[in-house]
Amino acid sequence: MLTPSLSGVPVVLHWGAALGELDPAALDGAAAALVPGTSHSALDAPRQRGVVGENVTGFTGLPGLEGFRPAGGSAWAPRLRSWAWDVDDSGEPDTDALVTLTSSDDEAGWGVRVELQLTREGLVRMRTSVTNTGDSPLVLAAVRTALPVPGRASELLDMTGRWCRERTPVRRSWTAGTHLREGRHGRTGHDATLLLAAGTPGFGFGQGEVWATHVAWSGDHQAYAERTPEGECLLGGGELLGPGEVVLDPGASYAGPWLVGSFSPTGLDAASARLHGWLRRHSPRTRRTRPVVVNTWEAVYMQHDLPTLSSLAEAAAAVGVERFVLDDGWFTGRRTDHAGLGDWQVDADVWPDGLHPLIARVHALGMDFGLWVEPEMVNEDSDLVRAHPDWVLRGREALPDPWRHQQVLDLQHPDAYAHVRDALVALLDEYDIAFLKWDHNRDLVDVSHGGRPAVHGQTLAFYRLLDELREHSPGLEIESCASGGGRIDLGVLTRTDRVWPSDTIDAVERQRINRWTSLLVPPEMLGAHLGGPVAHTTGRTLPTGFRAATALLGHFGIEWDLRTLTDAERDEVAAWVALHRELRPLLLDGTLVRGDHHDPAVVVSGVVSADRREGWYVVATVDTPVTQSVGPVRLPGLDRGASYDVVDRTPAGPGHRASMGTTWLDGDGVVLGGAALAELGVGFPAMAPEAARVLHVTAR
């Protein structure tokens, strides 16, 4: 609910549960009723934080706008008193309402625009932009956007992480002061909090009021939760600008990233569903069937030759794979990760006839073809760097310290940008490539462009490169992979078709990583692969069924040398692929649900159809359960008034049984009502650690 305050400054009074129809008198009454009193130690008039937090009005939290003029001037930040309103709302239920607010401070030379949108899914999107209306350059230090939440939201949930341990949840009480997370990686970062959520104490996936925000930006950023001494409670964020990174010449403008807010009265799942619905509407390419993928990396690494990869393609087709992705190692000089990045031509020594023979074999087997690229990076040992050393992004004369033996290509350099764009276009023109796995394997450390920090411009150039390639090849699908999950945000997700949540496909780690990544990312955009028996990154050995079940409810793929499988393993893998293909239509528009179980060793994940007549659930153990039996497992998301058949659809395969007797899982299933499934659940026997069951639930 947006309304002018008594001083005429726009104020967001309410973001949360629907209040019904409100007439102008009710809005005026609400605005008046929520004006705070005046303290003996404060400005003499009552103060409310407007849509922009202004320290010049006495607001003591993080300011919405910060900047200065090198040429001098007394007003380092604007005072925005008079606002113009523009409302774009057709009133149609499938139209997003947009309010645009504009103001200016002629003395300070700032023009400000705030866009506030309510989407049909119920998201609030808010963005702040600045125009330099003065006659000298304006250096921006910060442009932040924040949404208010009620004081009863006294618990915070956000995430941190590292490579191969992305999206680790952290919970804490929300007390006075500022809780701030900053990403300083030049990309979103493995430690980025996808959502910063505030809620009523004890909120979970299925209970409690939740207010969650996300900063839709793929570069350096801030996300914060703030309780001021005056009582304001805010969730906010924006781009993290380096010193002098954005300088506006007279008349120039800067648009901050969108802050996206999602409210739920019933826990994280409903807040997540709003985000999924919005993203599905803005990523229409993912609405078609998501093909089962095989990726060559953990099967052959960089040891490429036509006979080896052809036999791998044949083994993949035999188990039902539909897309063959050739990973790192196909381009000029690429024998190790020390050389070749930047030289995006097919290596003539390994591929004398180009990739044509391999792609022809892949197509003959009924699969389409994908290719790994890392266009933003270069090796010092590359023809590109030898010819154009000035195209390497750096902050001083010496190069930055190497990271995985690579440096960053300066995409703000027009010739460098054109070179990499044209090289990719040439590949897409010569070969029938349906999919690009787009990697980004280092942070941007000690880099500048034109004497200023480089991250802002590099991020915009990356967006432009994606946009131009999609315009050139409209059917092309792209995966965002940044040494795994290092670049996952709504800025990149609206330009790509799926993400790679982590470089680890250890299924124990992925149970956690997939669960928390999916708060933002819908299942059909979440790359989830069945790896080999021994996890590449952790060395953990896990059974096939547990590994496959962990990947089942995502964009399913395989990362395993399928040529080495026994007949029994091949049959088991084929059964899991067939099961995924059976349920995957539901992933495109189904609602993802996550069960709240009393034992943290038990992870319950599911997807339920829009009409709630069908659901698929994976019940997995990531550790030894505390109790002898897992106990009742509740299945959320179904129609409480309907009656359901519940059957075990776990493909047969060898594995340890912790339960020696028979249970309902070993028979033809059970019939239960939706309310009973949500409240009582279904009884589960003892389960070994790192085991999983797949349940199919259908309305009678």
Sequence-separated (6 or more) residues with CB below 8 Å from residue 567: none
| CA–CA distance, 229 with 212 (Å, rounded to integer) | 22
CB 240 within 8 A of CB 222: yes
Query: Which pair of tokens denotes residue 241?
Result: 């600008």
Query: Which pair of tokens denotes residue 70?
Result: 């090198």
Output b/e per residue, 159-183; b: 16+ Cβ within 10 A: bbbeebbbbbbeeeebeeeebebeb
Nearest to 185 by CA among 399, 453, 438, 415: 453
| CA–CA distance, 378 with 679 (Å, rounded to integer) | 55
| CA–CA distance, 470 with 435 (Å, rounded to integer) | 11
Beta-strand relationship, 555-559 and 527-531: parallel
Q: Is 503 annotated as catalytic?
A: yes
Phi, psi of 389, deg, nearest 5 = -60, -20
Phi, psi of 675, deg, nearest 5 = -65, -40
Task: Point out the catalytic residue in the list 105, 503, 506, 648.
Answer: 503
Task: Specify the 3-state DSSP secondary structure of 297.
Answer: helix
Amino acid in position 643: S
| CA–CA distance, 391 with 411 (Å, rounded to integer) | 8
Task: Point out the catalytic residue in the list 347, 439, 489, 497.
Answer: 439
| CA–CA distance, 266 with 277 (Å, rounded to integer) | 17
Q: Is the C-alpha dihedral spanning 398, 401, 407, 409 positive or negative?
A: negative
DSSP string for 139-152: EEEEE-EEEE--TT
Amino acid in position 97: A
Please state whether 91 falls in left (phi above 0), alpha (psi between -120 and 50) or beta: left
**In terms of DSSP H, where are the helices of 473-596?**
490-493, 507-517, 544-551, 567-587
| Furthest C-alpha separation in the chain | 82
Q: Is 439 annotated as catalytic?
A: yes
3 state SS for 232-252 = CEEEEEEECCCCCCEEECCCC
Query: Which pair of tokens denotes residue 116?
Result: 């506030």
User: For 595, what's the count of Cα atoms within 13 Å in the CB-facing half-sphere?
Assistant: 31
The DSSP call for residue 57 is: G
User: For 406, what's the count of Cα atoms within 13 Å in the CB-facing half-sphere?
Assistant: 25
| CA–CA distance, 131 with 137 (Å, rounded to integer) | 11
Amino acid in position 468: E
Give the CA angle between residues 490, 507, 557 to the nearest 5°: 65
| CA–CA distance, 146 with 123 (Å, rounded to integer) | 14
Rg (CA), the chain: 27
Residue 100: count other Cβ atoms within 10 Å of its Cβ: 16
Query: Which pair of tokens denotes residue 381?
Result: 């040992």
Residue 493: count other Cβ atoms within 10 Å of its Cβ: 24
Nearest to 185 by CA among 504, 457, 446: 446
Helix (H), strand (E) at residue 171 = strand 168-173
Q: Which residues belong to the active site? A: 439, 503
